[in-house]
Chain A
Amino acid sequence: MTSSALTKPQMRGLLAKRLRFHIVGAFAVSLGVAAFYKFAVAEQRKKAYADFYRNYDSMKDFEEMKKAGIFQSAK
C-alpha cells in the first residue's frame, strides 16, 4: 500500500449534520405532500361538489328514483 495522504474525514458535528439534513428534508417533504394533497384531492373534491349542486334539482332526482321503484313509502 502506498502512503498517499488521505483527506482527513469529518471528526465532529456528525449528528448535527445528519439532523440538519433530515429536519430540512422532513419539512420539505411534509410541505410538498400537504400542497399536493390540497391541490389534487381537496380542491378537486370541492369543485366536484360545487359542480354537482350548482344545477341540482332534488325533486327531479326524487321522481327518477320513485320511477325506478326503490321506495317503499312512495310508489
Chain B
Amino acid sequence: MHSPGSAAHGEGKMPPYTSYHAQRTYPMPDEPFCTELNAEQRALKEKEKGSWTQLSHAEKVALYRLQFHETFAEMNRRSNEWKTVMGCVFFFFGLTALLIWWQRVYVFPEKPITLTDEWKAQQLQRVLDMKGNPVQGLASRWDYEKKEWKK
C-alpha cells in the first residue's frame, strides 16, 4: 500500500498540509511527522543510528514524537461528538413531525369510506362471525356468549 498523499514533501507546515498521513488503519508510514529538524534533533537522529540501548528514556520519547504526531491513546481519545449528532437527529425528527402535521391539516384528502369507524366495526363483526383464526388469533380472543372481548 503506497502512501496516500501528495508527491511534494511538506516543509514547516502543520497537518493537513504536510505529507504525514498516519492513521489508525495505516499506522506506520515512511514519512515522519517532523521533517524540519533543528541541530539538537539532528544530533539525536545521528545517535539513533547507533545502539538503542545508549538512548535515555527521554530521548526515546523525543524520537517517537519526531516520528509520530499522536500516540495511539491520544488518537483514539473519545469526544463529545455523539451529543451533537444525537441533538441534530432529534431536531430533524421534530421538524419532520411538524411538517407531517401541517400536511395532515392542509394537504391530505378525505379518508375513504372503508376507514370510517362504522365501516370498521361492521368489518370486524363480519370477521368474528366467520370465526377467523379461532385457535390462537382474533376469534379466539372474543367471548361468543358474553359478546365481548375475553379478559
Contacts and interface: CB of A to CB of B under 8 A. Distances in A.
Contact of A70 (B130, B134, B136, B140): B130
Interface stretch (A15-23, A24-32, A44-52): A44-52
Dominant secondary structure of chain A at its interface with chain B: helix
A45 B129 contact: no
B135 A70 contact: no
B129 A52 contact: no
A3 B57 CA distance: 10
Nearest to A50: B135
B112 to A, nearest CB: 23
Contacts of A69: 129
Contact of A1 (B57, B126, B130, B144): B57
Interface of A: 1, 3, 45, 48-49, 52, 61, 64-65, 68-70
Interface of B: 57, 126, 129-131, 134-136, 140, 144
